[in-house]
Amino acid sequence: MLAIGLMSGTSLDGVDAALIETDGEALVRPIAFRTEPYSDSARAELAEATALALTFDRPRASPPIVAAGELIVRTHAMVVQKLLRDAGVAAAAVDVIGFHGQTVAHRPDRGWTWQIGDGQALADATGIVTVSDFRSADVAAGGQGAPLIPVYHAALAADLEKPVAILNLGGVANITWIGRDGALVAFDTGPANGLIDSWMEAETGQRYDANGQMAASGRVEPTVLDTMMDNGWFDLAPPKSLDRNDFTVQPARGLSAADGAATLTAFTAQTVARALDHLPERPRRLLVAGGGRHNATMLAMIASATGSTPEPTDALGWDGDALEAQGFAYMAVRRLGERAICFPGTTGVPAAMTGGVVHRPSAG
């Protein structure tokens, strides 16, 4: 099948869109990928919706959140058109879209997770069958609802020597461990770029620490780092997942911009090291995807903290910026075939299960 995957992460930087050919099993052929950045006004609108959603005890309609959901659909529909134009592929040739939507709150401890963006509206706008709401069924069954990409990581890594681990450094970091027998263990490890991005925007007006240059010019403050690591969540056995807002930059307040960036980057590295202690066996390779792989200072700190050499997935021919979007395309194909996307070792769901709601374009 030809499938499009759409991902808008907690960093609120834009929409990733990937077109792949896949059978939902071992065959995966990337065809096209593009990123569409959000405007400043769109980022502000989504940030407002997220801040509001976090005040609720359960998902419910609210005008700013409804408006943000409509923005998500408009933006994603536009990106689909641009991706198809880039690839020279007609919409009628595409079998399915995997539409993640925008997470505004993730509270599996309260029995819910909330991704805005109407899958039916996107199906109608594009004329393509759309799968959305990938996480809710897992949470309803007692799972964490995240991470979901491990099933795709396993397909990509089928021919690699095991055990191997894939570390995704997005707003939040998560890791997938694949054992010699194909067993999967996956969980969120802690903040990745999220806190650093928030710090940089507040302290310098920049959206992120380009290549880790600010962190490289600063000094890690050990007292602050120890305070941030003194959190029982890191000792919890997986599976486990996070909302980006479960951690804040507050402990770093009062540090210089450079020292704060260095300390928050070291925090990410230490949480990755702690996560490796939860794996059944040390991985032979630590492959790194997501925006954080562009941060040389972060990778150096992870190497120092873990004793492993983080390898960007691009060295294997995997586009580390595209993997999450590709993963939702892959999972959409699996959903159409009623195949599992969630597993006890990845989300803590009691038994392997599929997920996602299928929306077919309305007639006319």
Give the annotated binding-site residues for ATP: 9-16
Binding site residue list = 9-16
The total of other beta-carbon atoms located within 10 Å of residue 321's CB is 19
HSE-CB of 18 using CA atoms within 13 angstroms = 27
Peptide bond into 239 cis (omega under 30): yes
Query: How far, in Å, CA of 331 to CA of 241, rounded?
Result: 19
HSE-CB of 329 using CA atoms within 13 angstroms = 30
CA dist 213 to 71, 253, 259, 295, 296, Å? 34, 20, 12, 8, 8
Query: How far, in Å, CA of 328 to CA of 99, rounded?
Result: 7
- Tell me if 303 sits within 8 A of 310, measured CB to CB: yes
Query: How far, in Å, CA of 193 to CA of 224, rounded?
Result: 18
Distance from first CA to last CA of the chain, Å, rounded? 24
